[in-house]
Every structure is written in structure tokens, then in C-alpha cells.
Structure 1
Amino acid sequence: MAQRLTDLDLLETFLEIYRGGSLTSAATRRGLTQPAVSGQLAKLEGRLGTTLFTRGSRGVTPTPRADDLARRIGQHLDQLRTALDPDAALDGTVRIGGAAEFMTVRGLPALAPLTRRGLRFEVAFGLAEDLLAALRAGRLDVVLSSIRPQAGFTATPFTDEEFVLVGPPLLARTVDRRLLREDPRRALEHLPLVAYDATLPILRRYWRSEFGERPRNTVAVTVPDLRAVLAAVVAGAGVSALPRYLADPAIAAGSVEQLHHPEVPPLNTLYVVTQGATTAETDAVVEHLRSRDWGAL
């Protein structure tokens, strides 16, 4: 006999869509197929007589009605889940480190559902090498790292960052389009760079991946925060390679343009790293990040 679909099922599915930003992530977390999630959402929207999400190429965007519904039911559903499933409850603090830009824009929003299960976080920002040293010394429990650590750590890949080369529209118009197709390195070499560090870690990786050598361009600005790098690019100081999750809003707004379109975009794998014996809390963090649908980064 088929299990009867309850209003609680519909609301739980809605909340997973709302928090994950996509039907795919909700299907994964609910253990359902995507058509089943779509059907439950359609049934709830029919019950309420309103649209809860608008669909786009990168997921779904909640309507004001969805925002109101999530505020009203979220905490109550979380408490009900914990009461019905004691194994879902967590009680402890995880000291976690990561790059300030990724943690601010993607990492902390992704970890927020674990706080509703009782987990607490103490967050540290820094470079991957420094954070891994803190993990080795026992000052951190988990690190989200852009480099794969050496032996002695357990590193689980959880997503890939895609990098895009962007510049302000005025500088973009100085690029010879024919030369860009034939010899992109030469077409771009007159453009000043905005770099994260004096060693040009991201730009060097992009140039070597796409053009076979490190950039010869002059460096106009060096600033150790990718959000500040983007701000300098928007202001016209130069061009830079940035993670897509930071660049896409500026591209959509017309503040910057993507200067180069490689056949296969440069990627960098991100790892969730632990050391030694783990706890239920750190295991929950690793599994949560590993199983999440991150979409395009």
C-alpha cells in the first residue's frame, strides 16, 4: 500500500528546496527523485494557491511568500526532526577554518543547517597552509582547503572551484578579438593585473593552464582578499582570475566582462580536511559538505 503524502512531507521538501537553492539538492537530502520533489512542490503550491520559487539556470529563487513560509515553519520543523530522530541531534563545537572569501559567500551558508541540529562553530580565516598548520597543532578540528595536504591528514574532496578571467568593460574593449582567438596570451599581455598575492597564485595557475606560461603583465594592485580584488577590477584597476561564485554577480550586472572563454574552464578542487580521530560532530561536517549539491562555483 502506497504511503500517504502528508502536509508535513510537503513542508519538509519545501524547506530543503528553500535552504539548498535547488530541487536537486532537496532530492538528495530527502532521499527522493527530482520528479518526486517537483511533484511535491507543485502540490504545495497548489494547496497554497501561489508560486513559491522561480526557476533559473542555477537553481531556484524563493518568492516573498516562500521567505515568509520558511520563517514561520523552519525552526519548528527542525525541532520536530530532532525530537523524532535523536541521532540527528548534535551537541558540540567544531573549530573550522577556511579562506575568508569562500567561507563568507559559500561555506557558512552551507554549514548553517548543522546549527539547526545543535552544532556550534568557531570559524577562523586564513591561507590554506596556515590553517593546516593550526589543524596539525590541534587548534582547529576541520579545515576547508584549496590545496591537497600531505600525509597525516584525511582529505575528502567536496567541490571544485571554476576560475574565470574578468576585466572592466573599458579594458575589455582594448583586447584585439582576432588576436584573442589566435594567440590569447599576446592579446591579453597589455592588461594590468589585480593580484591576490605578490606570487600571483591564482593568475599564475590560470596563465599556465591556458597559455602554457606565467603572466608577463604588469601588476597594478596586490590585495589579499578576493572580494577586494573584484572591487579593484570593477573600479578599472586591471583584470584578474576569480572564482565563478564571486565573478558571476558582477558579470550579470555588467560591472565586468569575461575576457577569455576556454574550452575547459580551469578548476581547483576543494577538500574538507581532518586529522586523527574524528568525532560525530566533525564526521557530520564532512558528510554534510561532501553530499551537498554545490552547483556551479
Structure 2
Amino acid sequence: MSNGEPPRGDPVPRPATGTPHQLDLNLLRTFLAVYRSGSFTGAGRLLGLSQPTVTTQMRTLERQTGRVLFERLPRGVAPTAVADELAVRVAPGLDMLAGAAGPDAVPGPPAEPVHLAGPAEFLCTLALPALAPLVTDGVRLRVATGLTDALLDELRAGRHDLLIATTRPRGRTVSAVPLMDEEFVLVAAPSWAERLRAPLAAEGPSVLHSVPLVTYAEDLPIARRYWRHVFGRRLSCAAAVTVPDLRGVRAAVAAGAGFTVLPRYLCADELASGALVPLHEPEDPPINTAYLVQRPGAPDNPDVIRVRDHLLHAARG
């Protein structure tokens, strides 16, 4: 092929399987370079290797792991889910080894900031605390908040490097991998919970129609989903309060304003302390998957990959 990549559909020999600590470090180093550059030729330039050498090493690694690591594209390669998992596991150790350059190493100019976008609540509650060690290590961040659809358009236009999306992006113009599942919980302050839990269990969700509903938006996106999944019916309540930040919704409900549906991660402390009480605890609560989305093309800034790998690693914890 004209770009020096091997043909698509190359067969992968049957393995002997291996774990990262059993595999050749040179193969893993080459794998990480391919993963981060998005092509075999780009990895060769980074490592000073010929493209055939990189291809041979990746075939060897795929044979040893028994898994396809990259899908061959007309231009470059795309990592499989197996490659995503392997990168999360090996990148921290390989980066640490690469950084052990000795006391005489002269630091270069700082890398450009990484532009990260997503829901304000998720970023402030989970993502930014998880990224604090990278910031102390010199990574710079520029964070934008908003709704997924608008942020996706901005990502495709080049305004963001990474996006935490609440829905899976359609099409193949961006790379998206599952980041974490968020569980939704129906909650109220203890004063409301004492009055509502027993009637709700006995009579169903109609008992909530007279209770103020506090929600994220006028169209009740999270509450409607909960009603459809848990109660099997359409939510017919109107919002008493709308706050375009779930942290504000949480604060209002904890103060006794009414009831709401929140991601469990956002109200875990309040549930533990008793400031909020679950009104209903279904065996099959509604779940939403958040995705980590990367804009098209291989990033010029290596810190983009550091942030991406760190978020994936933190989410698995």
C-alpha cells in the first residue's frame, strides 16, 4: 500500500498467550508507539526503525498475545479494544522507564495544553481529581464544559483533544472507547423519604406527582429515562425547579426542595451520610455508559495520550 502499512486482513497466528510482564519490552515499546502515533510508519519515525521492522514486531506481539491489536486502515491503523486495554496496562510503566533519563537531562519546552471537554459534574467530581498527579508532573489542561452534541461538533472542528461523552458518537470520524458506567438513583431528603417510600412501594410512581421535581432541564432527560426503565411508563410530571448543573440539583434536593434522579457517583457522599435517601432501589437500575472520545488523527502533543491513558486507567479502578 502507498502509505507503507501492511494489507488489511492479515491473519494472526495462533498464540502462545502472554501477559505484559512476560512480553518483550521492545515489542511493548513499539506497540505503544504505534498506538500513540496511529500508524506503523509514524511509530518507525518515532523509534528510528524501518516500517517493515515495526510490522514484524507487531505481528510477533499479536502472535504472542493471540489477539488482533490493530485494524489496518487505508491510512494508518486503528487500535482494537484489546489494544486499548493493553495500552492502559503498559503505558505507565513504559513512560516511567522512558523518563529515567538521569540528572543531566535537559528539559525541553513545555508541551501544549491538553484541551479536555465534557459534562461539568463529571469533570469536576471525577476527572479532574484523577488527573491531579499528571498536573503536578507538568501536564497542562484547558477544560471546557457543556452538552455532548455541541462538544462533539467542537471536537471535530479541532477545539478539543479529548471529550467525555454521555452518548456514543455515531460514525467513524472520531475514536470512542467506553470509559465508565454511571448508575442512576431516585433520591430525596430524609423528610420527604419518610413520607414517600412506603406509598411509592405500594402504589407506584403516581404518588410522586404531587411532589416537586428538581431536574437538569425542562425535558427531564434523566428522570424520563429512569421512569421508562424502572417503572415501564412515561413520566408525566412537570419540573418544579430546573438547574443546568446536577450539583445544583443535588444541593436543592438535599435541602428539601423535592425529589430527583442523580448519577450515583455524584451523590455517593450524601447517600452515605444520610443527607439524601433512595426512594426506590430496583434490582436493575438504569445505567448509562460514558465514552472517552479523541479527535481524528494522531495527536501532536504526547500529553494528550498521557491524559487519555490516565483517565482510562483511573476509570477501571
**1:136 Cα shift?**
1.2
Output the CA distance in 1 between the equivalents of 2:226 and 2:243: 18
**1:221 Cα shift?**
0.4
Q: Structure 1 residues 143 and 173 mapped into 2: Cα distance closer, same or farther (>3 Å)?
A: same
Q: Structure 1 residues 233 and 116 mapped into 2: Cα distance closer, same or farther (>3 Å)?
A: same
**1:237 Cα shift?**
1.4
Give the aligned residue type for 2:123: M
Check whether the contact 1:149–1:155 (CA below 8 A) recurs between aligned residues: yes
Gaps of 5+ in 2: 1-88
Task: Check if 1:236 corresponds to 2:229.
Answer: no
Identity of aligned residues (%): 44
Task: Check if 1:141 corresponds to 2:158.
Answer: no
- Alignment equivalent of 2:100, drawn from 74, 83, 91: 83
Q: Structure 1 residues 31 and 140 mapped into 2: Cα distance closer, same or farther (>3 Å)?
A: closer
Output the CA distance in 1 between the equivalents of 2:121 and 2:315: 19
- Alignment equivalent of 1:131, drawn from 151, 165, 177: 151
Task: Check if 1:97 corresponds to 2:117.
Answer: yes
CA RMSD of aligned residues (A): 2.8
Output the CA distance in 1 between the equivalents of 2:263 and 2:314: 19
**1:188 Cα shift?**
3.1
Query: Which residue pairs with 2:46 in the alignment?
Result: none
| 1:17-166 equivalences in 2 (<5 Å) | 82-84=99-101, 91-151=111-171, 152-166=173-187
| 1:131-181 CA-partner distances (Å, limit 9, x unpaired) | 11110111111111111111121111111111111001222122262x533
Check whether the contact 2:197–2:279 (CA below 8 A) recurs between aligned residues: no
Output the CA distance in 2 between the equivalents of 1:290 and 1:183: 42
Task: Check if 1:252 corresponds to 2:272.
Answer: yes
Query: Which residue pairs with 1:173 in the alignment?
Result: 194
Output the CA distance in 2 between the equivalents of 1:30 and 1:125: 28
Q: Structure 1 residues 161 and 110 mapped into 2: Cα distance closer, same or farther (>3 Å)?
A: same
| 1:214-233 equivalences in 2 (<5 Å) | 214-233=234-253
Question: TM-score normalised to the size of structure 1?
Answer: 0.66
Output the CA distance in 1 between the equivalents of 2:90 and 2:182: 22
| 1:68-95 CA-partner distances (Å, limit 9, x unpaired) | xxxxxxxxxx999833599xx9833211
| 1:93-152 CA-partner distances (Å, limit 9, x unpaired) | 211101111111111011222224432111111111111111011111111111111112
Output the CA distance in 2 between the equivalents of 1:148 and 1:204: 19
Task: Check if 1:194 corresponds to 2:197.
Answer: no
| 1:273-293 CA-partner distances (Å, limit 9, x unpaired) | 012112233222222222224
**1:213 Cα shift?**
2.3
Query: Which residue pairs with 1:292 in the alignment?
Result: 314
Output the CA distance in 1 between the equivalents of 2:197 and 2:139: 53
> Any idea what SS the aligned residue of 1:174 has?
helix
**1:248 Cα shift?**
1.6
Task: Check if 1:273 corresponds to 2:293.
Answer: yes
Output the CA distance in 2 between the equivalents of 1:264 and 1:84: 51
Check whether the contact 2:117–2:162 (CA below 8 A) recurs between aligned residues: yes
> Any idea what SS the aligned residue of 1:110 has?
helix
Give the aligned residue type for 1:112: A
Farther off after superposition, 109-118 or 198-207: 109-118
**Which structure: larger Rg?**
2
> Any idea what SS the aligned residue of 1:292 has?
helix
Farther off after superposition, 114-123 or 230-239: 114-123
**1:234 Cα shift?**
1.4
Count of equivalent residues: 220
Give the aligned residue type for 1:91: A
Q: Structure 1 residues 176 and 169 mapped into 2: Cα distance closer, same or farther (>3 Å)?
A: closer
Output the CA distance in 2 between the equivalents of 1:187 and 1:249: 27
Query: Which residue pairs with 1:6 in the alignment?
Result: none
Q: Structure 1 residues 254 and 81 mapped into 2: Cα distance closer, same or farther (>3 Å)?
A: farther
Question: TM-score normalised to the size of structure 2?
Answer: 0.63
Farther off after superposition, 222-231 or 188-197: 188-197
Q: Structure 1 residues 118 and 80 mapped into 2: Cα distance closer, same or farther (>3 Å)?
A: farther
Give the aligned residue type for 1:253: S
Check whether the contact 1:189–1:217 (CA below 8 A) recurs between aligned residues: yes
